[in-house]
Structure 1
């Protein structure tokens, strides 16, 4: 984490004149939806447009989008309502429909639950000062949990998923390109065939980055910048489903790497060792628990994650539950997205 956050981009003034399309795929209502979506219209960037994209003419989020457009008359804001589905991946269909209306040279894909500070666009666009960079993304942290299921979600993300992404990027162990905050140059997207070939992929953001890097020969840049993403879960079952979905994504993107993540889950193995009565088990359990909590505190300091510190006492439970999630996602072939059920076949989605 320290190595990652030391990196900064210098001399990026010219690229910040590039026209940008900030695309927000939207599907239904979420907690703090207005507060998150309106941040797209309040960016400190001179030449950009915002495109909110929905597929359903009766989407309950539409009045919120209209309100944002009315409140920001000085901004170029387009609301795309298009039922075109290029495949089973609804999020990708939203992105595709928006790109058909986009005028920018750089596309920014930012999920509806992302809270963007005013300097977000400048930070992610600055990556493209290096002409070898074709795709870029930023970190994002979960925040503002209201109860235990949402706190477990936050810890899963901030204390597990985010450090894993940073480790993969810094060590080049695997490609990491989270789609909730992702940018790609228009010409690069065209070179890899656009979004249509990705329409059936479960992890379309990873596949987009992979094609830009491995097939088109561009670099991927991970910006040392942290956006915020809300957690919105109604109960423990919703947490379980989302966790299994996350691990299914990881497995689909990198099956071998996902399998070996089992070996780095220290707390469950330390607890098992203690239950079996192994030598020095109290010391070993205490050492593993202390190391896990310490690294989580360090990660929280880099992310400025005060919420995670408040709920840190839940981390051992989250790690124990994480083993069950790991096994479930390794054998489970069904997944859910926005109320729709799919079967996963070789990393692709087939709607049931």
Structure 2
């Protein structure tokens, strides 16, 4: 390698590392801003509106029954839980039936959604479940989510007038949607541990940075989507989302674009991750990355400059191990660990972060590899089927061949 090329590599590595470390500062500032919210006082029971929880299902997840139970023991005066499946013989159905027997006093219903209304079967099911919901306030969360006892009360606290943003003399937008952060409970496999570490120290660091940078959030997370029918009707209901992979992002973005405020609740929920092998981990990460690239093209382009460790290693190699490059690598590692602790432990209270902190460098290199891989194609594997992404929408290969959209 010529001297000129080594200098180019060193300069590129230094630029990337410095950009990433500046981003880390933004992440920590975002975490500090979020923590200042503290835990809001829970609204009195008599002020809480009745609500409907919608849970679309397909297949089973680790610890699914216990996760279902957590929704049935909420400290909340009046709510119903509606499950939806597209196949009456879905393996999740016996779990719902067992739940109905365990909680006879709780309004628990199962809806069989026989129509296929689009490529996103989750949204297709939600369209058919919504008419069965009795209440104005709706909560949707993924099938693998486990929630704390005060989950609904803390989520609904996000709709309180004190949550609205706006300066003096400004009209404060109505809160249309409340979402929340989540922790991933890892299994024993390396892929599962890397997934959990990424959720708590990388993904949510980005969410808090975006919230700080944009003065709020304009998207939502599938861990929890609490919204009003009025806000949903303002965007045409669920039907416009039925072909999108990132339906949670689209729902939040469209509600924000309709003039409503999207609020990030202080409640944190849990998801129980599969025992991913490394190939399964990378396939799952690639699906998420390509989905995000299609949803936030310019924002995703900058993600490549958020991995300080790989860029610092490049600087060390390009600089031939010069002292300044080793100093940069040490600083990058220290700041990356600090972000992991501030967000993963300080905000999410995820004890796994301490346990798996030694995997952080591997997670960094995997993250950069996934980011690069997101630009190498448009196909994603989802629920055992292969789709092509076009403008964020899921298309089957045959549809793409004939120009279907």
TM-score range relative to shorter protein: over 0.9
- Aligned partner (choices 115, 128, 132) of residue 97 of structure 1: 128
**Cα offset, 1:57, TM superposition:** 1.4
Name the counterpart of 2:199. Answer: 157
Q: Which residue matches 2:267? A: 225
Q: 2:231 aligns with which of 178, 184, 188?
A: 188
Normalised to the residue count of structure 1, the TM-score between the two structures is 0.95
Q: Is the 8 A contact 2:186 2:195 kept in 1?
A: no
Distance 1:9 1:218 in 2: 21
Given the alignment, which residue of 48, 51, 55 partners 1:24? 55
| Match in the other structure for 1:6 | 36
**Range that drifts further, 8-17 or 281-290:** 8-17
Give the structure 2 partner of residue 351 of structure 1: 396
- 8 Å CA contact 1:169–1:176 kept in 2: the answer is no
CA deviation map 1:82-134 (0-9, x unaligned)? 12222101111122222121111111011111111111111111222237101
1:198 aligns with 2:241: yes
Q: Give TM-score, length-normalised by structure 2.
A: 0.83
Residue 331 of structure 1 and its aligned partner are, at CA, apart by 2.4
1:169 alignment partner in structure 2: 211
Instruction: Report 1 or 2 for greater relative contact order, CA contacts < 8 Å, sequence distance ≥ 6.
Output: 2
SS in 1 for 2:54: strand
| 2:252 counterpart (209, 214, 220) | 209
When structure 1 is superposed on structure 2, of 275-284 and 51-60 the one drifting more is: 275-284
Residue 77 of structure 1: CA displacement? Answer: 0.3
Residue segments in structure 2 that go unaligned for 5+ positions in a row? 1-30, 162-172, 398-405
> Which of 231, 235, 240 is equivalent to 2:277?
235
Q: Does 1:306 align with 2:351?
A: yes
Map of 1:245 onto structure 2: 287
CA displacement 1:276-325 (0-9 Å, x = unmatched): 22532222211111111122122222211111210110110011011111
Contact 1:25–1:91 under 8 Å retained in 2: yes
Output one character per residue of 1:169-218: Cα deviation in whole Å (capped at 9) or x when no partner: 2321762311221111011111211000111112121211122111x211
Asked whether 1:326 is paired with 2:357, we answer: no
Kept in 1, the 8 Å contact 2:189–2:275? The answer is no
1:259 to 272, 297, 301: 301
- The question of 1:78 aligning with 2:122 is answered no
CA contact (8 A) 1:177 1:205 kept: yes
CA contact (8 A) 2:223 2:269 kept: no
Alpha-carbon distance between aligned partners in 2 of 1:186 and 1:15, rounded to the nearest angstrom: 21
| Partner secondary structure for residue 53 of structure 2 | strand
Matched, 1:55 2:86: yes
Unaligned runs of 5+ in 1: none
* Alpha-carbon distance between aligned partners in 2 of 1:252 and 1:341, rounded to the nearest angstrom: 17
* C-alpha contact (below 8 Å) 2:142/2:224 kept by paired residues: yes
Shift, 1:20, TM fit: 0.4
**Which is worse superposed, 165-174 or 258-267?**
165-174
For 1:290, the equivalent position in structure 2 comes to: 334
